[in-house]
A = this chain, B = another copy of it.
């Protein structure tokens, strides 16, 4: 039996107690995990591939079929796959590519009449590492959402690391996704040791500039510890969906969408913000009806009873304020004229508007990225995108006359800051003339 707690949004104490419970989902750093991972990182940095393989033996009991998966094995996986799956993936890739191509930011040049040239270059990172979890969390859609924007950004080489299946073979769905998305090399290696190998490079695994992709606490901790040695994507915390709904919403749809988020994780949060108490009741009934035939029923029950909630409010405006306060990863608007609310929704990773923009549509298919800021960080973080795989740099060319015209200002500010060598670098260029 699932009972989402019902909170009257005007009861500030109750409301804030619920928000605080959401914040608490973000676990403290685990000291023991940090120590274990630190040692793995040190060992792999020094020991290279042999160290990686030793850890695989230690943790998994055996070595996988391949260390690097040969190209023809990837090609065979694509040929042998269910054609309907390949088609579905190709359609998803096309949509994701089409959306992300619109994110491309070009560099610029600003050439002044006096000969001064200023500009900015934007380029793809040289090499990116993509972690793909194994087991039940082997998600081909995750390959699409990471590899497609990297390719569009101009990343020259994508190196995937992923643990093998229990029998030591590569997961065929992941290979299909890797093949279709243009991943360059695939290594059957998982855990913190694979992250360390990507960060420092080994004899066989190339050193990368950035590591992306989800993973368990060992993978996440390794990424956190190696941040700065390489760049990383965000550390994903427990995720949320917040559905804003009024009396026009179909309770079946609302119930299904809340559960599609809740099935991810017992820490996931599904929140209904509604102006209609009647709708809320119907949604609760629908949840208990639909959950019966869902395979991840237990996870859904746990997360909805613990972190699910119905927030009752009086107006659309109040609902908007609540959504902005939660700053959810996914925000659905099942209200009349949903587009009219877009401009007021300040904090959300991805916004789904109307009765047919169900969250799973975004997870797989529509085009926007599904790697989104979680746990309220949409206040300041952004979805993964093309710019996550680029670096900018600026450039400056000055003429002698232009520098001469700027000289007094620069020297004055430099001296104010007590940096006389800065001032000297300008004045020395005009030494002869002014002596």
Q: Name A's B-contacting residues (CB within 8 A).
A: 26, 84-85, 87-89, 91-92, 98-99, 102-103, 105, 108, 110, 116-118, 120-121, 123, 125-126, 136, 138-141, 173, 209-210, 228, 230-231, 235, 252-253, 256-257, 259-260, 262-264, 290, 293-296, 300, 338-339, 342, 345-369, 377-383, 385, 387, 390-400, 402-403, 406, 408-410, 412-414, 416-426, 428-429, 431
Contacts and interface: CB of A to CB of B under 8 A. Distances in A.
Nearest to A367: B118
A356 B421 contact: no
A429 to B, nearest CB: 6
A89 B413 contact: yes
Given A235-B228, A354-B397, A357-B397, A118 B381 contact: no
Contacts of A358: 403, 425-426, 429
B346 A141 contact: no
How many copies, total?
Answer: 2
A359 B422 CA distance: 8
A382 B393 contact: yes
Given A380-B230, A414-B364, A428 B396 contact: no
A294 B413 contact: no
Contacts of A422: 260, 263, 360, 363-364
Given A118-B368, A368-B394, A406 B351 contact: no
A136 to B, nearest CB: 6
Given A85-B416, A382-B391, 4 more contacts: A358-B403, A382-B390, A382-B393, A383-B392
